[in-house]
Amino acid sequence: MIRYTENKIRKVVETQKAYFRTNETLDVDFRIAQLKKLKKAILDYEERIEHALKEDLNRADFETYLCDIGPTIMEINETIKGLRKWAKPEKHFSGLINFPSIFTHVYKVPYGTTLIISPYNFPIVLSLGVLAAAIAGGNTAVIKVSSKSKSSSEVLEDLIFDTFDEKYVTVITGGHEVADMCLEQKFDKIFYTGSPKVAKHVLAKAAENLIPVALELGGETGNWCIIRSDADIKDAARKIAFFKILNAGQICININQVAVADDIADEFVEELEKQFEKQIGKYPDNNIDYPKLISKQAYEKCASDVERYRKKVVYGGFGDKENRRYVPTILYPININDDIVCKENFCPILPVVKYKDEEVDELLDTIKDREKALALYLFTKDMNWANETMQTMQYGGGCINEVCLQMTVKGVPFNGTGHSGMGAYHGEWGFREFSHPQTVLTGSNKFNLSLREHPYKIYKKSIIKLLER
């Protein structure tokens, strides 16, 4: 990997800015061609990507395709299909008040040179998926990849260098100090995926140069899953177990804690234990496909949190330190105010909180008092309650009687709010995120009315009031 200095990064940015000013990236045909090149590169690198994610996270090839390669290809396909329509200028009637200036256009203009800071947990889709949106918008891009997912970052570096000229798209590797060097540059747009803590630093640095920022963050005080008394317990347990096993819980939209109606809580926990064993067996003895935590520090943090709640462990509670694989662990019963419930558990720990079903409104009030989550999941047969709850709570996205599939739907945004993020992407939403809408009214030098000009007269005000109403 290349060793980056502030001077080298500055030259990369300057080179990209100079290239952007040639206007070559503005052409829609050019953008589509680059998206096709990106898609081909991902398919050509498929085996290397699978190997890299096996090295970094012990991902099974199936899981790598399901969560990283497949979604990125889908994102690119959707963007190629829709880009001509999305990029077309909008034409609006200017209104009688502006006569004879009849038409106003809204042009979708690229920001320019963009910085994409990607995380380790889904290193392909959360870098190249964002890159697809940046390309669609007509921008150049610098991708700062994670230093934690070393193998994946090496593959990304090679893939981008083999596919694009550095003046158009490039990858920068290194730790936090390199990221800070990037943030010192005058990019035209920053897209960051990661933690709220680091996001505050990104925003602060961007504010120095008034750079627009999109943030995709985690659930700082947790992504809740609420299971009502009338829920299908087996169905809920099966889906939650799958989700918590996936990437060993290292997922920003994963369930951080479960609130279960007290009359079914014991039964739910028993069923969840069965589902964990059914899906991955008695870890770590007989399942080589169960993912590992990204680093020794991540493993030790997970193990430390479990030890603090050792008396509440009803399933799991152990791991393979050498290989950084920690078994899915249920903590039960947990108080709603315990610290393990009031933070994001980016690991396979799952605290289970009991509540009285008739007091579900109080539970919702408690969740509302905390930071806004990236995801919310409900399991219930009461669809009226579920739909009302989903429309009155504030969060990024979610599901009713399902988990995580909101991520796979075409045409809808992925985004957070408050401490879970700002901005949105996926498909057309990504194109919009990386495009600046510019409004242009076309005037006329004939039939101009003098209503707006001095001297002001009573009849002019009467006409303007009539037109504006």
CA atoms within a 13 Å half-sphere pointing along the CA-CB vector of 180: 5
CB burial class (10 A; 0-12, 13-18, 19+) of residue 97?
middle
Total number of residues shown for the chain: 469
Cite the DSSP H helix spans in 172-295.
176-183, 196-208, 233-245, 265-280
Residue of 67, 182, 225, 252 with catalytic role: 252
What is the C-alpha to C-alpha distance for residues 412 and 424, in angstroms, rounded to an integer? 9
Closest CA to 145 of 110, 170, 119: 119
Active-site entry in 50, 216, 220, 371: 216
> Measured in Å, how far apart are the chain's first and last C-alpha atoms?
63
Q: Is 67 a catalytic residue?
A: no
Quick check: is 208 catalytic? Answer: no
The three-state secondary structure class of 2 is: coil
| Cα angle 220-249-151, degrees, rounded to a multiple of 5 | 105
SS (H, E, C) 11-76: HHHHHHHHHHCCCHHHCHHHHHHHHHHHHHHHHHCHHHHHHHHHHHHCCCHHHHHHHHHHHHHHHH
Question: What would you report as the CA-atom Rg of the chain, rounded to the nearest whole angstrom?
Answer: 25
- For residues 93 and 204, what is the distance between their CA atoms, to the nearest angstrom? 40
Name residue, tokens 């991540």: 298
> DSSP letter string over 82-121?
HHHHHHSPEEEE--GGGTT--EEEEEEEE--EEEEE--SS
**Cis peptide bond N-terminal to 437, omega within 30:** no
Spell out the residues 6+ positions from residue 157 whose beta carbon is closer than 8 angstroms to its own. Answer: 1, 145, 171, 173
Residues 251, 352, 379, 232: is their CA dihedral positive or negative?
positive
3-state SS, residue 397: strand
- Catalytic amino acids? 216, 252
